[in-house]
Homo-oligomer: A and B are copies of this chain.
Amino acid sequence: MKIIVDAFGGDNAPLEIIKGSVDASKENGVEIILVGDEEKIRSCAAENGLDISAIEILHAPTVIAVDDDPTKVVKGMTDSSMSVGLVALTDGHGDAFVSAGSTGALVVGGNLIVRRIRGIKRAAIATVLPSNDSPVMLLDSGANLDLTTTSMVQFGLMGHIYMKRVLGVSKPRVALANIGVEETKGPQLYTESYQLMKALSDYNFIGNIEARDIPMGAADVVVADGFTGNIILKMYEGVAGALMKNIKGIFLKNAITKIGALLVKNEVSAFKAKMDYKQYGGAPLVGLKKPVIKAHGSSDAVAIKSAIMQAKYFAETGVIADIEEYLSQGEDNND
């Protein structure tokens, strides 16, 4: 699989992106195309002793910044690393695209350059979160504020296919994020989506899930509108971050607590690794014709490598073909 990587996306570009790409390129069946200013990529690699001889470089002179207007990806900055990468993906020069750059620009570029699968109304950012049990896919995590019930139902379907194919969950439990389990709870978008999902036999809809049960792993796929999904995602990060900071403070308090810290060091490290979003690489944009992965803006080399591996699985497990097949059946059966 040939993975196209935006060398200039994210807070740690280009060094950590190049590092992660070099590491990933050593894995079986992974070829990398790095997109960005060729001279800068070559000099950064040389300065840091990174051997990029096995990596193809696709030149793109500019970079879309996080605070740039996201629509610049299709007008005005089409020579940016993100635009050039998305065009290369669309034209078949690679099998998947990874970027840690502007989420907004990636969503716009995904929709307008790569384009959506026929029949899919909206593409979603699908974040994979750690839970006390197995990982949970949350979609939409922030791509769309205004959605119809059709999109909510499609998000459930795409989450189901992704978790089954890429993460190997045999019968993913799909739930609606809500403020109570009763079917009458929540805004109209939610009560109506509930009824449509309940009537479907295409996936295992388990009803509403309260936000407090998400971190316990009470569902494998959690469907929400992009505003709510983003709030869930950010609360997850925020509460976990605040608590871990407090716990660190506890361990560093005095000589006795420092000894206590030493005694639980290995277990705390294992726990931190389990809760680390980086292990899951990044958030796939589901609903597009080709695999696009949004890596976290603060990704280091390890996170970039994970995102590249995730892009590979996304491409080779046939998630997109499955979604297309389902939608074409729907067309035959329903309209």
Contacts and interface: CB of A to CB of B under 8 A. Distances in A.
A156 to B, nearest CB: 18
Contacts of A55: none
A276 interface: no
- Among A210, A239, A251, residue most surrounded by chain B Cβ atoms (within 10 Å): A239
Contact of A212 (B228, B241, B259): B241
Given A187-B146, A257-B267, A260-B261, A216 B242 contact: yes
Contacts of A245: 132
A186 B145 contact: yes
A274 B245 CA distance: 14
Nearest to A264: B260
Contacts of A210: 234, 238
A271 B242 contact: no
A179 B216 contact: no
A151 to B, nearest CB: 15
A256 B263 CA distance: 6
Interface in A161-182: 177, 179
Given A240-B243, A263-B260, A179 B132 contact: no
Given A215-B241, A239-B243, 16 more contacts: A131-B242, A145-B187, A177-B231, A179-B230, A213-B238, A214-B235, A215-B235, A215-B239, A215-B242, A231-B235, A239-B239, A243-B243, A250-B268, A256-B263, A260-B260, A260-B264
A142 B226 CA distance: 19
B216 A238 contact: yes
A264 B235 contact: no
Given A132-B245, A142-B179, A146-B187, A271 B259 contact: no
Q: Looking at chain A, what size class is its interface with the partner chain?
A: 35 or more
A262 interface: yes
A236 interface: yes
Nearest to A224: B231
Work out how many copies of this chain go into the complex.
2
Nearest to A259: B263
A132 B228 contact: no
Contacts of A68: none
A261 B261 CA distance: 9
Nearest to A213: B238
Contacts of A268: 250
A259 to B, nearest CB: 6
10 contacts: A131-B242, A179-B226, A211-B230, A211-B234, A212-B234, A236-B239, A240-B243, A243-B275, A247-B247, A250-B264
A75 interface: no
Given A212-B234, A243-B240, A271-B246, A187 B264 contact: no
Contact of A235 (B232, B250, B253): B232
A186 B250 contact: no
Contacts of A251: 264
A247 B226 CA distance: 31
Given A132-B245, A268-B250, A214 B227 contact: no
Contacts of A237: 212
A184 to B, nearest CB: 11
A11 to B, nearest CB: 16
